[in-house]
Amino acid sequence: MTDFKLQSDGTVTRITIDRLAKSNALSSDMMEEIADIVRGIGGAPGEKALVIDAAGERGFSAGADISELRAGREGLERQEKVILALSEAIETCPALIVTVLHGYAKGGGTIFPCLSDIVIARADVSVSYPEIQFRMYPFLLHALLTRRIPDSLAWQLCATGRALGAEEAFGLGLVTEVLPQDGFREQAEERVRNYLDIRASLALGREFSAKAATLPFGEQMKLAGGMMHRNFAAPGVDEAIERHRARLSSKARQD
């Protein structure tokens, strides 16, 4: 396992893509290994977390390794197989998934942010789907994009190959938040810790979003009410409310 680094403390798993000689391009072997790791993350929803980032300063990933297509249809079929496996593993993983992006994220490299719960991006991030320059329409990536954005916009990005900047990606909901380039690593780590701390509540939010999507408004509101009570009963909520109340009381006395 030379193309990525793996760290795990039993609760938080961190995968760092580290293939700088190939611009962090994703080989089929790498994607297969990562899929196996993700499938092995068990636990209740929100109990654990998966953080995905990349080494180097230039970019997150140049996409799936195009050199594998030199093997012709066999190489294409292998990439298809592992991309499907990786996408399914991430989509069905019960952990909170956080991706930290910097520089460029191209083609297959966007699998991770498309399927993550939280995407933290450096201000210089560029997201693109350049496969069309090889006269290859990125069908699998189009399908992934429609998890986050309208089909017509997914078509536009895949048909033109144009790049999205960080702020545009944020506006479309592909990115959760954008952080400045200066001190990005430190700030991103702080934000990751914050999301990990509230991962149980975010897991409930993810569950609500999935269930509410096909319900009429009245049923959505009923579901929201029930889930609000579930969240209120979760560990740590009482303590957080009490800390907030104490801060307000202290501020009031100072004023």
Residue type for position 78: R
- Do both 39 and 94 map to the same domain? yes
Q: Is the pLDDT of residue 195 over 80?
A: yes
Residue 234's pLDDT is 86
CA 167 to chain CA mean position, Å: 17
Q: Is the pLDDT of residue 59 over 60?
A: yes
- Do both 116 and 234 map to the same domain? no
Residue-wise pLDDT tens digits, 131-183? 999 899 999 999 999 989 999 999 999 999 999 999 999 999 999 999 999 99
Number of domains in the chain: 2
Average pLDDT over residues 57-81: 91
Evaluate whether residue 203 is within a structural domain.
no
Evaluate whether residue 112 is within a structural domain.
yes
Torsion on CA atoms 143, 96, 118, 172, rounded to nearest 10: 30
Evaluate whether residue 192 is within a structural domain.
yes
Q: What is the mean pLDDT of the chain?
A: 94
Evaluate whether residue 207 is within a structural domain.
no
- Do both 148 and 237 map to the same domain? no
- Do both 182 and 237 map to the same domain? no
* CA 10, 103, 19, 146 torsion-angle sign: positive
Average pLDDT over residues 122-130: 96
- Do both 46 and 142 map to the same domain? yes
- Do both 245 and 134 map to the same domain? no
Residue 23: Cβ within 10 Å count: 19
- Do both 160 and 227 map to the same domain? no
- Do both 132 and 8 map to the same domain? yes
Q: Is the pLDDT of residue 13 over 60?
A: yes
Query: Could you identify the residue written with the tokens 């560990």?
Result: 235
Evaluate whether residue 163 is within a structural domain.
yes
- Do both 107 and 183 map to the same domain? yes
CATH code of the domain in which 119 resides: 3.90.226.10
- Do both 137 and 245 map to the same domain? no
Residue 1's pLDDT is 53
Average pLDDT over residues 43-51: 94
Evaluate whether residue 206 is within a structural domain.
no
Q: Taking every pair of C-alpha atoms in the chain, what is the biggest distance, in angstroms?
A: 73
- Do both 104 and 188 map to the same domain? yes
Average pLDDT over residues 182-192: 97
Of 149, 169, 197, the residue that ends a domain is 197
Q: Is the pLDDT of residue 201 over 70?
A: yes
Range of the domain at 154: 4-197
Average pLDDT over residues 218-242: 93
For the chain, give the percent of residues with pLDDT over 90.
Answer: 84
Residue 48's pLDDT is 96
Q: Sort residue 216 into left (φ over 0), alpha (ψ -120 to 50) or beta.
A: beta
Average pLDDT over residues 46-70: 94
Q: Is 26 helix (H, G, I), strand (E, B) or coil?
A: strand
- Do both 108 and 226 map to the same domain? no
**Do residues 7 and 52 touch, judged by C-beta distance below 8 A?**
no
Residue 47's pLDDT is 93
Evaluate whether residue 210 is within a structural domain.
no
Q: Is the pLDDT of residue 198 over 70?
A: yes
Q: Is the pLDDT of residue 71 over 90?
A: no
- Name 51's bridge partners: 14, 98
Evaluate whether residue 239 is within a structural domain.
yes
